[in-house]
Amino acid sequence: MRREAELRLNDAIQAFPFEGKAVGAVRYGNGHVNDTFCLYTQLDSGEPMRYILQRINTETFKDPDGLMENIFAVTDFIAERAEANGEDPLRSTMKVYKTNDGKPYYRDEDGGCWRMYLFVDDSYFLERAENEEQFYESARAFGNFQRLLADFDASKLHETIPLFHDTRDRYKKLEMAIEKDACDRVKSVEKEIAFVRDRKDKVGQLMDMLDRDELPLRVTHNDTKLNNVLFDKDSHKAIVVIDLDTVMPGLALHDFGDSIRFGASTALEDEKDLSKVSMSLSLYEAYTRGFMETAGHALTETEIDNLPWGAYLMTFECGIRFLTDYLEGDHYFRVHRDGHNLDRARTQFKLVEDYENKWEQMQAIVNKYR
């Protein structure tokens, strides 16, 4: 797959309307899903420019037309809103290019689908927060994403990965994996299965509210990890939310919750020593403060009330997904050691337990910034 991308790279470059003369392209970033390259060009003035060229992984994203329609719709909407607010659209969202013949992506001779973004200069990203300020800044960015898209009709977006964050469906898939027991692993995870089943009544907490129209359908990013935010090199403020492949209709609470799941944990996602795993209330507060500062006025009172449930269910759901993949033979999440997905599941369940112990404090923090 990687070799095929390199063979078709030059054809893809020529399919897009970049400025200047192409002088080279190299692999860029550490993503595991799409093939990403940085394209370097030189203007007549001698000034350099950079673009991001990506071959979309169509095994993961089987509907590239719907995916790119979502991305163009959302980035265009944010750019218009930012400009109307007197903000720089190029520091507010990704700039996506259509091909020379006006198509949303280029399809090469092998069927590969390519797209191009303008490179966001003078920016950087972080894998993990080095301090509370960085986590707070990322919250402001994702909150601003919600604010700028508050008036966008989310029902117009394609659901490119059906039932992606429907925890009820994830629970059903786990029960199916338990019943099938394809790898004869059920007997080794009886404790983890019991943990999930004891909380079965919670899996529909948010999606049931959506079904009853108690929560609004919104544009959601669905992968709100810290490394999907770009920071300005000079001000160190968060500026642009990137990696929009999973932008879909969903719940703002899921976006908030996934950030807490990943960023407020005191340990890595695959930590074996569970004594190291807990949810940092100071990081939780930093993120809640930032998210509420930018998204707060766009959220309903019911959404604000249920922010802790976003953290709870996104963490619980992720644990369920890791456990399901372990039972099915580790075919979805990439593993690097025996029991890797089981270790991941256990960290998520430990966090869920920690949320339960800190529930009143989590709610009090939300109320502090509402």
Q: Where are the domains of the chain?
A: 2-121, 132-368
Burial class of residue 32 in the structure, from the number of CB atoms within 10 Å of its CB (0-12 exposed, 13-18 middle, 19+ buried) = exposed
Asked if residue 207 has pLDDT above 70, the reply is: yes
DSSP track, 220-281: E-S---GGGEEEETTT--EEEE---TT-EEE-HHHHHHHHHHHHSBSS-TT-S-GGG--B-H
Contact 57, 34 (CB under 8 A): yes
Residue range 30-45: average pLDDT?
88
pLDDT tens, residue by residue, 7-22: 789 999 999 999 999 9
Residue range 124-150: average pLDDT?
94
Asked if residue 293 has pLDDT above 60, the reply is: yes
Residue type, 234: D
Contact 228, 221 (CB under 8 A): yes
Residue 265 vs residues 268, 355, 359, 365: alpha-carbon distances, Å: 7, 11, 15, 17
In this prediction, residue 32 carries a pLDDT of 65
The whole-model pTM stands at 0.92
In this prediction, residue 332 carries a pLDDT of 86
pLDDT tens, residue by residue, 294-343: 999 999 999 999 999 999 999 999 999 999 999 999 998 889 999 999 99
Q: Which CATH number fits domain 132-368: 3.30.460.80, 3.40.30.10, 3.40.50.720, 3.90.1200.10?
A: 3.90.1200.10
Residue type, 360: E
In this prediction, residue 166 carries a pLDDT of 95
Element containing residue 365 per DSSP (H, E): helix 359-368
Percent of the chain clearing pLDDT 90 (strictly above): 89
In this prediction, residue 162 carries a pLDDT of 87
Element containing residue 5 per DSSP (H, E): helix 2-14
Asked if residue 233 has pLDDT above 70, the reply is: yes
CA quadruple 284, 290, 293, 297: dihedral sign: negative
Residue type, 349: F
In this prediction, residue 100 carries a pLDDT of 97
CATH number for region 2-121:
3.30.200.20
In this prediction, residue 3 carries a pLDDT of 62
In this prediction, residue 2 carries a pLDDT of 58
Asked if residue 178 has pLDDT above 80, the reply is: yes
In this prediction, residue 237 carries a pLDDT of 95
In this prediction, residue 254 carries a pLDDT of 97
In this prediction, residue 334 carries a pLDDT of 84
pLDDT tens, residue by residue, 44-89: 999 999 999 999 998 889 999 999 999 999 999 999 999 998 989 9
In this prediction, residue 267 carries a pLDDT of 95
Greater pLDDT, 178 or 91 = 178
Neighbouring CB atoms inside 10 A of 68's CB total 23
Share the mean pLDDT of the chain.
95
Residue range 14-36: average pLDDT?
89
